[in-house]
Amino acid sequence: MVIDFNTLYHFPSRLDRVFEEFFKSPMGDDRRLAYPPLNLSNDDENIYVRAELPGVELADVELTLSDKTLVLKGERAAPQGKYYRQERQSGVFHRVVNIAVPVDRDKVKAVMTDGILTVTLPKAEDVKPRSINIEIA
């Protein structure tokens, strides 16, 4: 058989795993909580929602923006064949992101690059920070 024997037979890989546990990232545990994992960030202009969705086409993702939430829905299909090992998530995914700031709905953009979905939500004009000139009398 061709199967991945690592866990039983391959000592270096077991060692790798020990190091992997040792150097675990602080965000490591969050990765298992919900699928897909998300990064939420913002700057003065936009709110960014990024999701790890390897193997999912942008056309297969449904994005719904309501007043206060962005809903991310879709399905990831599992490849067909006789399985020896199955670790990749498959099936329906659904995540809801709270967007507390008003956004310009017409200018929302979604891009998929190397399996990472980036949704850019431009902030509405009235919530953007503005610099005000103060004239000294």
Partner 1 sequence: MSEIVKKEDRSPARYRPATDILEREDGFHIFIDLPGVSRENLHIDLQDDELTVRGRTILTPGQNERFSEMQFGECEYVRSISITDIVDRDKIKANLVGGVLELHLPKVEKVLPRKIEITAG
Tell me: does residue 91 bind partner 1 (CB under 8 A). no
Select from 101, 92, 91, 89 the least CA-distant residue to 49. 101
| Cβ atoms < 10 Å from Cβ of 86 | 9
The residues, any chain, with a CB within 8 Å of residue 40's CB and separated by 6 or more, are 47, 48, 49, 50, 97
Q: According to CB under 8 A, which one of 67, 87, 106, 125 is a site residue for partner 1? A: 87
- 23 interacts with partner 1 by CB under 8 A: yes
Strand partners for 97: 70
CB of 39 to partner 1, least distance (A): 5
* CB 35, min distance to partner 1, A: 10
Strand order in the sheet with 69-76: 61-65, 69-76, 91-98
Q: Quick check: 102 binds partner 1 (CB under 8 A)?
A: no
Q: Is residue 1 near partner 1 by the rule CB under 8 A?
A: yes
Residues in contact with partner 1 by CB under 8 A are 1-6, 9-10, 12-13, 16-17, 19-20, 23-25, 27-28, 30-31, 33-34, 37-44, 48, 52-57, 78-89, 112, 114-116
